[in-house]
Amino acid sequence: MAANVRLLENRWDDAYAAGLDEPGKLLYRSNLLGADKRITNYGGGNTSAKVMETDPLTGGKVKVLWVKGSGGDVGTIKLDGFATLYQDKLESLKGIYKGVEDEDRMVGFLPHCTFNLNARAASIDTPLHGFVPFTHVDHMHPDAIIAIAASKNSKELTQQIFGDAIGWLPWRRPGFQLGLDLGAFVAANPNAKGVVLESHGLFTWANDAKACYELTLDIINKAIVWFAEKTEGKTIFGGAVTQSLAVAERRAIAARLMPEIRGRIGKQERKLGHFDDQDAVLEFVNSSDLRPLGALGTSCPDHFLRTKIRPLIVDFDPAKPDVDAIVAGLDKALEDYRADYARYYNDCKHDNSPAMRDANPVIFLVPGVGMLSFARDKATARIASEFYVNAINVMRGASTVSEYQGLPEQEAFDIEYWLLEEAKLQRMPKPKSLAGRVAFVTGGAGGIGRATAARLVGEGACVVLADIDQAALEGTEADFVKKFGADAVRSVRLDVTKEDAVIASFAEACVEFGGIDILVSNAGIASSAPIELTELATWNRNIDILATGYFLVSREAFRLFRRQALGGNVIFVASKNGLAASPNASAYCTAKAAEIHLARCLALEGADAGIRVNTVNPDAVLRGSKIWSGEWREQRAASSKIEVDDLEEHYRKRSMLKLNVFPEDIAEAIYFLASDLSAKSTGNIINVDAGNVQSFTR
């Protein structure tokens, strides 16, 4: 065996499995298989089991096919993600099938086979499982197998590696006929344990759940070992023609490029970005074969459905890293890509094909730097990147031991623009109001900042939490990841008074998400003292954070917004005290007044670029707010000549509406100003203070 081969690990737990019924074992097997991206990609492949169930209509026993439903992911699926069909009804469909021209019609019959009124829609792969006469069936997309399947002599390689244990079938679009082909293969080869599907993936089967799982791992491991041995010492991708830049340089270039790309491809629909510079990516983008292999497109349908048929390869020489030249050439590069995609569409379309979709690339490959991917949300952008890494691995194996072949354009088109695929797209839920947008929230780990970030994420935005309090930042990020998922949130420790730190934090946001659309400038402090007792350090600290800090983050946001050319939103969290003076708080009130006036100045400057700047003025937000957790609470209580514990009630009674104000109330106003609900508002102030006549805006 070649050195440093990492095999798939058998993670089956007999003790755990012993307590499961057959559907439970199917779920267990599915989750184990989907947990390793070397076995199958996200959302790719499917699993099934044929289970004897009690028929609710007759009370008798019937055979039921449990199979991963449409749109699911085997790694994260739950039991309700499986479609269930009467096996005998599914078999009966063979009698009405008229041939390959009948494929789409047959999908419409699958709901008629539903067992127990299961609402989960059956996928087009259902016949591929139903017509294999074994209890358990796995269909996976392992890189090592697809590398065989995507080789020009894949049939010979399959025989060479697996002998008679694993058969081979030529490429065919998944559907009813491929199910019949699989059934016919098993009938002709009763001792075979599976099949390699040309340009697609692997099928394996057994009559026991554990045996099926172990067989799948064994077949993939055999391919992994074979490739390791065959590629050891071989030149990969024709050898390197460029060298990778240092990590910091790669990220800096990504930070510069991603907003430029995002702005150019996101005018019709906002896009979020993902950056990947892992070793597998760098080996490919630095290689001699980058352009010829990239032009061939991907092979497995799952790959190109997520990544488009081919990537855009950026013209960049890492030995002479001229990023300005890349930016200058982006418009032409994108124009050429869109023209070629339109050519592909027009060459391959049918009379009933759906209209051409977004012609922009999903994958951008940059020599010496890595891969950039863009999609309508962060998760999809990340998954697209993962899929292209799968494609790289496939090309690596196939081109080293044989000759790599992508799917012919017509076959690719017929899957990409399949009417059934279009119907699936049309069924997708309407995007949330802030989908595709990124919010940068300073003071993001405090009460108002945290509540705001949660409100924006709840409406589909991704957020960058910026805060100087590292412990609070880590805790907030962990909570957000648990509640909203890891794709929705990033954090940066930030002192808003440090110019270099502000610049670096925005660059980090660009690498992580592709850019920023919303700035919520909320970082704050508070201090209270009579003027004669106010020290210069206190005065400077208020001005530094509440005025200079707001200037620094706004300036960086403006620079980014203008590069993206997608408009932008800035919301300042100021204070009632910016409009209404308070005794013993001159430093705080003056800094807040400067903040409000800065917002108005920025509204004037940003209007021509569609950048809106508005202000929210809270008052007396005691609960959850970090500025009230220190001396400020005691100081304000003393100023009002009341006890600390009476402060909240004091502010409630002082308000016109006699209501307390909470962080969530401020967050609601910020969401309004950040969203298109306020698309025609800039330079405005919203007071969220339960009513204070002194702070009425003028």
Active site residues: 588
Q: Tokens at residue 656, please?
A: 């016109």
Q: What does the DSSP assignment read for 90-159?
A: HHHGGGT---GGGHHHHHTTGGGGBSTT--SPBPTTHHHHHTS-SSEEEEE--HHHHHHHTBTTHHHHHH
CB atoms within 10 A of CB 698: 5
Contact of 572 with 687, CB cutoff 8 Å:
no
In whole angstroms, give the CA distance from residue 557 to residue 570.
Answer: 8
CA distances 266 to 362, 374, 507, 611, Å, are 11, 9, 19, 16
CA distances 57 to 54, 118, 290, 488, Å, are 9, 14, 59, 45
Helices (H), 189-300: 209-231, 247-265, 279-285, 290-296
3-class DSSP state for residue 442?
A: strand
In whole angstroms, give the CA distance from residue 381 to residue 376.
Answer: 7
CB-hemisphere CA count at 13 Å for 404? 28
- The widest CA-to-CA distance across the chain, in whole angstroms, is 97
CA distances 156 to 171, 187, 198, 458, 492, Å, are 15, 22, 11, 52, 53
Q: Which residues, 6 or more positions from 507, have their beta carbon under 8 angstroms from its beta carbon?
A: 251, 252, 255
In whole angstroms, give the CA distance from residue 118 to residue 109.
Answer: 15
CB atoms within 10 A of CB 578: 24
Token match 């910016």: residue?
578
CA distances 22 to 135, 282, 628, 651, Å, are 10, 44, 57, 62
Element spanning 19, H or E? none
Q: Tokens at residue 380, please?
A: 């999809």
In 3D space, the residue among 235, 222, 237 whose CA is nearest the CA of residue 158 turns out to be 222
